[in-house]
Amino acid sequence: MSLPPPDICYRALQTRDPSLDGRIFVGVTSTGIYCRPICPARTPKRENVRFYPSAAAAQEAGFRPCLRCRPEISPDAAAWRGTSNTVSRALALIGEGLLDGENGVEALADRLGVGERQLRRLFDQHLGAPPIAVAQTRRVLFAKQLIQDTQLSMTDVAAASGFGSVRRFNDAFRNLYRRSPSELRRKRGGGVSTVTLKLGFRAPYDWEAIAGFLSARAIPGVELVEDGRYTRTIEIGGHRGSVEVRPEARHLIATIRFPKVNALLGIVARLRRLFDLDADVASIAAHLSGDAALKPLISKRPGLRTPGAWDGFELAIRAILGQQITVTAARNLAGRLVENVGVTVGPEVTGDARLSKVFPRPSRVAAADLSFMPMPRARIAALTALAEAAAADPKLLDPIGTFDEALERLLALPGFGPWTAQYWALRALRDSDAFPAADVGLLRSPVVAEAGRRPTPKALLERAEAWRPWRAYAAQHLWTAEAGGG
């Protein structure tokens, strides 16, 4: 069989190399499933994988197709092989249905002008399976694609995919997938519904500033800010998808890819918090403009919002990572955590191959050995403690309760001081009066400098009393100006 060396095959699986998609299929002995090399599932151990040159060979070896990476939509490998014109012609005839009726391998060999034994030998050499098995695999995989991607009736699917009867069609699916075709359609785990909605806001809206803020903190693989659009992966209740948001005149356009329509209401609520769509910026600006130092900043960016957070646990992790380091360094640390602990997803879920990771849930972080993180042991311990607490109490970081109650919950955890708790409250709780007075960016802002000197956190808090109840928005204006945006 024509396969790259096993080590190359395994590296392709580890890196999800698309160049070998269709050239190799990976059987996983621990699950009994075979996959494409680009499968988003966690890479199995080397000793648990077998490599095959075709889907038919993997099925002949007793493996059943993966429902996540969908071998039925992998590239056709016949053109890649190119080493046997006879096999290429035979595959074309099989594709046309020559073996779907009463004809056997002998009729196929006759059409090709070779002996039946020679044809079987060529199939075994190049595809690792006999012609009948190849034909059966193609029928089943094509039928699976019709079930997944169309609303054809099962009778029509059976006919279109070359099964002589619905009974044979049902039997083939039960033998291979261990469920009926209708169950596959109901339970198609990879199916993602796409919905596009308008999210309104009260003008003005400073999209440039909020996109810049999110871009500077975007975690590779999880978030992407490009061409005026913000996209990220999401996970709710064990289901995964993505959201994309872009601006239009008086609303944002949100494209939501998610398999559960009953989650849409909650997703929209999160997006409204993330993009601070319900703020009355005119009232906020009128109040904060009473400070002579803030007034020019507000005049320059009247539609500035305070970005929220998609998820409270994710933001808590990011807040710990961001303690006493730069925004870029914190983003890189978050990227490292996600790369090692995050859940891998494929483009069929997210719609973009660059969005390949979902931020890990608390139980996953709690169970991980985080020694790979290049940071002090105390901070690693704080990450683990946070994850363990959030896993034990799923509501620990939900935006519930009063501001003071939320701060008490956080401050009781290792690694959470006043800055971390206030920053988390500002973005996750959407508390308009949260104010991380010890923030380096706020303290070094020339707007709050006193006679050319940086104020202390205590002095800054005293100065900020006049900004209440909109201290969070004052902080956002100071951050934006300090970053060169105001």
Provide the 3-class DSSP secondary structure of residue 78: helix
What is the layout of strands, in order, in the sheet containing 223-226? 193-200, 251-258, 239-248, 229-236, 223-226
- In whole angstroms, how far apart are CA 64 and each of 46, 154, 432? 19, 21, 54
For residue 177, give the nearest of 32, 53, 346 by alpha carbon. 32
d(CA 465, CA 153): 67
Please enumerate in sequence order all residues whose Cβ is within 8 A of that of 108, keeping only pairs 6 or more positions apart, or say none: 90, 93, 94, 98, 99, 119, 131
Tokens standing for residue 452: 């050319």
Chain CA centroid to CA 274, Å: 17
415-423: long-range pairs with CB below 8 Å, 24+: 415/320, 415/323, 415/378, 415/379, 415/381, 415/382, 415/383, 415/385, 415/386, 416/320, 416/382, 416/386, 419/323, 420/319, 420/320, 420/323, 423/319, 423/322
For residue 268, give the nearest of 350, 211, 199 by alpha carbon. 199
Q: Provide the annotated active-site residues.
A: 35, 439
d(CA 338, CA 344): 9
Chain CA centroid to CA 164, Å: 41
Check if the beta carbon of residue 36 is closer than 8 Å to that of residue 69: yes
d(CA 347, CA 338): 17
d(CA 415, CA 253): 38
